Amino acid sequence: MPETETLREYKNPDYVNWDELGFRTIPTDYMYVMKMSLDGKFSEGKLIRYKNIELSPSSGVLNYGQGIFEGLKAYKKRDGRILLFRPEQNALRMQTGAQRLCMPSPTVDQFVTAVKQTVLANKRWVPPPGKGSLYLRPLILGTGAVLGLAPAPEYTFLIFASPVGNYFKEGLSPISLFVENEFHRATPGGTGGVKTISNYAPVLKAQIRAKSKGFSDVLFLDSVNKRNLEEAGSCNVFIVKGNIILTPPTEGTILSGITRKSIIEIARDCGYQVEERAIPVDEMMEADEVFCTGTAVVVAPVGSVTYHGKRVEFKTGTQSVAQRLYRTLTSIQRGVVEDKKGWTVEIEETSYHIRSLL
């Protein structure tokens, strides 16, 4: 039986339609694996063929949700060189999350080196310039067996990769958000501020319900006052009022996004006044613009927000603040302009990744 186009595209990037990538898993060639123990001992990391992994039924990740993940991207420049964007920030955030969940974590150098090796081993899957990026998903999983409630004795640090395009089906068009007032994403003292795997399944019910009504995503409110903005299901949120840009502070219930952090700095460089403070939902409904940020979504303009049945539309388009910030950020990420901030890391061809595959 001849292979279908779908099967062929999963084996060879020559069959991938780079113009219709979307945000889905396309298995690439290799993934990175390193074992870690609770007492801080590390095995030598290695690249192996992309495949399923085996887990004990009593592994810490399956029984107690002991797992965290990160997300970052590799971009191909027009001259063929490949860039990462602030990978050390992902490494530091992963360390913070691991500490919160009583897990060991790679050093910054181990993390960045592993990401570089994963990209180089899968470099034929990096989309052409302007067609998308290679998404890297580092994870730390409690793979050791444990029955009583306790940290797992062994952990797996794993990185897999997939070429991706736009996160939302709207592409670069404005998205629509639904303000959720029944379910909450995080509570004070919980794990809302770290990228644990257990943060995401609880948002699915609210997200599916919103998408069934035609919305792009859900915007969550704080669980204490039930009136202040927190974040969307997959990204941080900003509002624009004149020359002022506002975003909720990351004080334990909101993920400290790396794109968020970068946009704040870029906005200040552009002359905007940026404030990190509590934002009542009613204040957002009177804003000029609303936009979301994240590694997956980059900078997504919000065309409308619906709250208690009231729908408010916001400014979007080429002259918007969101578009200005998007163009500046992506020009740095893709190496189109000079990176004066030292945010991008070029992945140089070396021999170490080849030895890892032998």
Per-residue confidence (pLDDT) for residue 3, from 0 to 100:
37
Around Cβ 1, how many Cβ atoms within 10 Å? Answer: 3
DSSP 196: B
Query: What end-to-end distance do the CA atoms of the chain give, in Å?
Result: 33
Per-residue confidence (pLDDT) for residue 74, from 0 to 100:
98
pLDDT in tens, 9-66: 457 888 889 999 999 999 999 999 999 999 888 999 999 999 999 999 999 999 999 9
Catalytic (active site) residue 195:
yes
Cα gap 155→37, rounded to integer Å: 6
Q: What is the residue whose two structure tokens read 């004149």? A: 242
Instruction: Using DSSP, state whether 178 is helix, strand or coil.
Output: strand
Q: What is the residue whose two structure tokens read 């609303």? A: 290
- Structural contact between residues 235 and 241, judged by C-beta atoms closer than 8 angstroms: no
CB within 8 A of 260, min separation 6: which ones? Answer: 236, 238, 247, 250, 293, 294
| pTM > 0.75: yes or no | yes
Cα gap 93→99, rounded to integer Å: 10
pLDDT in tens, 246-291: 999 999 999 999 999 999 999 999 999 999 999 999 999 999 999 9
Residue 39 buriedness (CB in 10 A; 0-12 / 13-18 / 19+): exposed
Buried b (16+ CB within 10 A) or exposed e, 172-204: eebbbbbbbeebbbbeeebbbbbbbbebeeebe
pLDDT-derived band of residue 232, with 50, 70 and 90 as boundaries?
A: very high
pLDDT in tens, 148-204: 999 999 999 999 999 999 998 776 789 999 999 999 999 999 999 999 999 999 999
- Structural contact between residues 175 and 290, judged by C-beta atoms closer than 8 angstroms: no
Residue 80 buriedness (CB in 10 A; 0-12 / 13-18 / 19+): exposed
Cα gap 66→139, rounded to integer Å: 11
Per-residue confidence (pLDDT) for residue 40, from 0 to 100:
82
Active-site option among 195, 205, 310, 341: 195
Bridge partner residues of 36 (DSSP): 42, 155
Per-residue confidence (pLDDT) for residue 94, from 0 to 100:
98
CA 37 vs CA 60, 64, 69, 166, 191: distances in Å = 13, 17, 18, 37, 23
